[in-house]
Structure 1
Amino acid sequence: MKLRLFEEWEFHRNVMVQMPTGTGKTHLLAAIVREFLRGSGSRVWIVAHRRELVDQIEETVSRHGMSKEDGRVRVMSIQWLSRNRKDMYEEPDLIVIDEAHHALAETYRILWENYPEARKLGMTATPCRLNGKGFMDLFDSLITSWTVAEFIGQGWLSSFDYVSIRANSREQRLIDSLKKRGADGDYQVKEMNEVLNRETSIGRLYESVERYAHGKKGIVYAVSIAHARRIAACYSAHGLESVAIDSRTPASERKELVDDFRRGKVKVLVNVDIFSEGFDCPDVEFVQLARPTLSLAKYLQQVGRGLRRSANKESCMLIDNVGLYRIFGLPARNHDWAAMFEGRMIGNALSRAR
């Protein structure tokens, strides 16, 4: 992949790379940066969309022999860069954008406007958008890696078991009743919370974990902060030590809770869009989907958290309590990333050509 990228840079300045979640994008990123600095490059910026990802990338980059103290590599969040860009007088030779499916946001576009001479590298597992917009006004070309199925076959990703609710189940009928959409085109959070944040529904979530993932540690994706806290309380009341993590959880507390999860002190992390991207914990043994979505990117990012390999994990149990299987198929299904990158196909439930 690294060789393919440098060959592509012979013809195009701005390139996007697609690799499935859990296949080592950050390590590839670090290897590319190191190779770039060995050549003609003297300064690299790596831009992430959340502070937690900055810390993770810095750690990986340092393991590849590049210390942030030498000043050649800077890792920053897009929010920090937006606030401080005018105070930064050096110009980068390369800008790497992590989770580059966010790059269509206006905050990222200033990187193209203000640093037109810098090469751009976008890294993502899902080069698609729910609104169907392509990326070709920012990136000149797309390089794709093996598929999820190929990575599993080669032993780079974990195998998985998948269970989902029945098409005629009460839960599926509740989800089918959702009519409102948010600004991003996905289900409206308020309506989802009203419909799904109920004692009976949460009880069935627990029953699913008890039946299919008894004794395992895992991640639950919830609809809202209230939903996440209610799920965690229910699971804990049944003796399954669980905590809820959301955007309001202080960073220090969040780190402590994740460390407790890694050590096994906490069995279940219930989150709201916190661990959809960049969460690196290979020994996740189950993922429970309790949040409906129309976004292919969100679906693949969530199930992908369970597909990282670890020494003691034979496979990952994926528990789909919101019927996403009937919308997107299994996680190993192939996708036409080139069509979505070019804006010819919408990255949503229908995956239809435009």
Structure 2
Amino acid sequence: MNDGIFNRGVEMVVLRDYQEDFVQSIRGEFKKGESAVIAVSPTGSGKTLVAARISEMAIGKGKRVMFIAPRRDLIIQTSRVFFQNNIHNTVLMAGYPYRHGMACIIASMYTLHSRVVRRKVMGLPDVDLVMVDECHLSISNESMQIIQMYKDKGANIIGFTATPARADGIGLGSLYDTMVTGPTVESLVMGGWLCESRYFAPTSIDTSSLRTSKSGDYVLSDSEEVMAKDGITGDILDNWKRIANGKSTVIFCVSRKHARHVANEFINDGINTVYVDGDTPAHERANSIKMMTDGSATVLVNVFVATYGLDIPRLEVAVLARPTKSISMYLQSVGRVLRVHPSKPDGAIIIDHVGCVSKHGFATDHIPWSLHSDGDVSSRSSQIKIDNQEDKEIICSSCGYCFKGTRICPLCSHGEILQSEEIPVLEHDLKEIFSGTQHVKKSPVDFMSWLKNNMVTSLTER
């Protein structure tokens, strides 16, 4: 991309300072001569607005742009945001009239591939800049084919994502030339742009029986079988009522069978619960999202629908009930509840029934993303924790509190063992994990007072 494809002009899209810095960092890579850039920024940081600003700048220079998204609701949502910022666009998706000649196209990757490649009923739209939303999903054959076609035509590519890695943790260097990282989750939390979060997790979970699929994650049938067994995790409903009763919640399940079972447990307990999966009709899914958005429903149980792209700021609790080896899957799920909203002054809550926090760490942890590497990102993250023991999650063997960043328990001052060593195991009940990056604005005295008043469960209460 030459420097002139998106320059400063009349600015209608108003960005936060960190978003404007992000735009200029992306622009800087194209000035260096790169043609395909991954733009990495956390869930909830406003990547759609960044894309709108870049589109505005490019269109102001007489260029044509396309924003490609992987799912219907994301396409509609993006088109709406662009219109709200005075960027007129046409939608290229089944069921919508496509207007030729528009400077901005919001396209479905599936529809684009179907019409251009599979059915050959239209030519590849002529654009100068292609932006790919959730680009960690762009390793499918259809996506790779479309992106390569545009690269061959000389178009420039920006891939937006919070997690620039495939499901198996390998980077995206086969499609992109370079990577720009925006703000971190930690910096956005400290700046008040994302929520602080508290973590509750089992002391242990056995995933040794789970096989690994070709995609690099656990075999779904194995995960479903494990989650159906008693004694592996605390009861999802009981722990939710104890830790987060009445709070707006999204639950991530293994399969339709598993999700329906969980949903029925909540419904039978009188909790207003909605259920969605990939086969849920569009109007039912839209109604469920609306009910969660306006607060008329409390719990959203889902299978592979809410993992990415779900934008409901009032969501306060994420219940992880699907084991995953993918740090991308984990961070995308947790990111659903990190947006700031007046209804959650105490921040977000993560209830982890499947050992994700122990395996992948906290959302505020540094993640060593890379375009090219010999190992996956989870392995590199694990190695960092091995090299720096104080960054490992620790469970206090005296009082049961969980924390990181120190070898001394912040609650009872007991000297601690590392989680990789032998730890007493409690059945079912979840305990709180404390991230050392949280509550940085509190004084030490205030913090200890908060800690003792807010810890939900400890061994001393037993």
Q: Tell me the TM-score range normalised by the shorter chain.
A: over 0.9
- Taking a change above 3 Å as real, the CA distance of residues 277 and 120 of structure 1, as seen in their structure-2 partners, is same
CA RMSD in angstroms comes to: 1.9
- Taking a change above 3 Å as real, the CA distance of residues 123 and 233 of structure 1, as seen in their structure-2 partners, is same
Give yes or no for the alignment of 1:27 onto 2:49.
yes
- Taking a change above 3 Å as real, the CA distance of residues 248 and 162 of structure 1, as seen in their structure-2 partners, is same
Partner of 2:438: none
Give yes or no for the alignment of 1:55 onto 2:80.
no
Partners of 1:45 and 1:75 within 8 A in 2: yes
Partners of 2:168 and 2:326 within 8 A in 1: no
Partners of 2:367 and 2:377 within 8 A in 1: no
CA distance in 1, matches of 2:374, 2:86: 41
How far residue 135 of structure 1 moved from its aligned partner, in angstroms, is 2.2
CA distance in 1, matches of 2:124, 2:132: 20
CA distance in 2, matches of 1:79, 1:96: 15
CA distance in 1, matches of 2:148, 2:231: 52
Partners of 2:168 and 2:217 within 8 A in 1: no
Partners of 2:277 and 2:304 within 8 A in 1: yes
CA distance in 2, matches of 1:90, 1:127: 26
Query: What does residue range 1-354 of structure 1 map to in structure 2 within 5 Å?
Result: 1-11=22-32, 12-41=34-63, 43-69=64-90, 71-85=102-116, 86=120, 87-88=122-123, 90-115=125-150, 116=152, 117-167=154-204, 172-173=205-206, 176-198=207-229, 204-314=235-345, 315-337=347-369, 340-348=370-378, 351=381
What code does the residue aligned with 1:36 have?
A
CA distance in 1, matches of 2:107, 2:232: 40
How far residue 82 of structure 1 moved from its aligned partner, in angstroms, is 0.8
CA distance in 2, matches of 1:157, 1:8: 27
Q: Which structure shows the bigger proportion of residues in helix conformation? A: 1
- Taking a change above 3 Å as real, the CA distance of residues 349 and 296 of structure 1, as seen in their structure-2 partners, is farther
Deviations 1:10-65 (A, max 9, x none): 12111110001111111111111111111241x21111111221111111111111
Partners of 2:233 and 2:354 within 8 A in 1: no
CA distance in 2, matches of 1:344, 1:180: 22
**Which of 23-32 and 101-110 deviates more?**
101-110
Partners of 1:94 and 1:118 within 8 A in 2: yes
Deviations 1:267-310 (A, max 9, x none): 10000110111100000011100000000000000000000111
- Taking a change above 3 Å as real, the CA distance of residues 118 and 206 of structure 1, as seen in their structure-2 partners, is same
Partners of 2:67 and 2:107 within 8 A in 1: yes
How far residue 260 of structure 1 moved from its aligned partner, in angstroms, is 1.1
What code does the residue aligned with 2:246 have?
G
Normalised to the residue count of structure 1, the TM-score between the two structures is 0.92
What code does the residue aligned with 2:45 have?
T
CA distance in 2, matches of 1:344, 1:134: 10
Structure 2: any 5+ residue segments left out of the alignment? Answer: 1-21, 91-100, 384-462
How far residue 179 of structure 1 moved from its aligned partner, in angstroms, is 2.6
Normalised to the residue count of structure 2, the TM-score between the two structures is 0.71
CA distance in 2, matches of 1:145, 1:190: 37
CA distance in 2, matches of 1:149, 1:203: 29
What code does the residue aligned with 1:27 have?
L
What code does the residue aligned with 2:156 have?
R
How far residue 349 of structure 1 moved from its aligned partner, in angstroms, is 5.8
What code does the residue aligned with 2:308 have?
E
Partners of 1:82 and 1:107 within 8 A in 2: yes
Partners of 2:38 and 2:178 within 8 A in 1: yes
CA distance in 2, matches of 1:154, 1:51: 32
Deviations 1:90-116 (A, max 9, x none): 411111100011222221222343222
Partners of 1:152 and 1:158 within 8 A in 2: yes
Q: Which runs of 4+ in 1 moved over 6 A?
A: 199-203
How far residue 195 of structure 1 moved from its aligned partner, in angstroms, is 2.1
Question: SS of 1:161's equivalent?
Answer: strand
Question: SS of 1:4's equivalent?
Answer: helix
CA distance in 2, matches of 1:107, 1:26: 23
CA distance in 1, matches of 2:328, 2:124: 35
Deviations 1:111-165 (A, max 9, x none): 3432221010000000122435332232111110121111100111011111111
Question: SS of 1:348's equivalent?
Answer: helix
How far residue 332 of structure 1 moved from its aligned partner, in angstroms, is 0.7
Partners of 1:206 and 1:235 within 8 A in 2: yes
Aligned length: 344
Partners of 1:202 and 1:231 within 8 A in 2: no
Question: SS of 2:136's equivalent?
Answer: helix
What code does the residue aligned with 1:9 have?
F
Larger RCO, structure (CA 8 Å, separation 6 or more): 1
What code does the residue aligned with 2:302 have?
N
Partners of 1:163 and 1:319 within 8 A in 2: yes
CA distance in 1, matches of 2:380, 2:368: 13
